[in-house]
Amino acid sequence: MSRRLLDDEDPDRLYTVTGGRSRTDAIALDLVTLIVSESEPAPGMQSEHVRILRMCRRPVAVVEISAELAMPVSVVKILLADLLDTGRVSARHPVSGAAGSSLPSGDFLRKVLVGLHNL
């Protein structure tokens, strides 16, 4: 996102979108947290909430939601906190390959390193 887009954003609009809140302390979301919709949008929902629910039918990172909505990450986190509180979305951190299994042995890693040096 270009700096100009953020500079051109109307602060009054962001204030209105977040209901005047500037942060959410209850929920820790980082840029790579994956968000998944748990329900369909309901009539009368805030338009940004509707867009997030439609966008997150498959797992989407917080930073991608921010880019798609063209809003600062801090504002998106507040919107996501609203949806998390109502159970409309779920959040999870992506699992790395090493987290689900044991790490390779030092001996194995040395053999790989020797093999790479021989290339």
Q: Mind spelling out the 3-state secondary structure of 90-112?
A: EEECCCCCCCCCCCCCHHHHHHH
Residue 108 lies in a domain: no
- Residue 76 inside a domain? The answer is yes
* pLDDT tens-digit map of 73-103: 888 998 898 899 899 999 998 765 545 567 7
Would 119 be classed as within a structural domain? no
For the chain, how many structural domains are there in total? 1
Domain that holds residue 27: 3-96
- Is 102 part of a structural domain of the chain? no
C-alpha 28, offset from chain centre: 11
Q: What is the pLDDT of residue 11?
A: 58
Domain at 40, CATH number: 1.10.10
Burial of 83 (0-12, 13-18, 19+ CB in 10 A): buried
27-47 exposure pattern, b = at least 16 Cβ within 10 A, e = fewer: eebeeebbbebeeebeeebee
pLDDT in tens, 17-53: 665 565 666 677 889 999 999 999 999 988 899 999 9
- Residues 38 and 83: their CA atoms lie apart, in Å, by 10
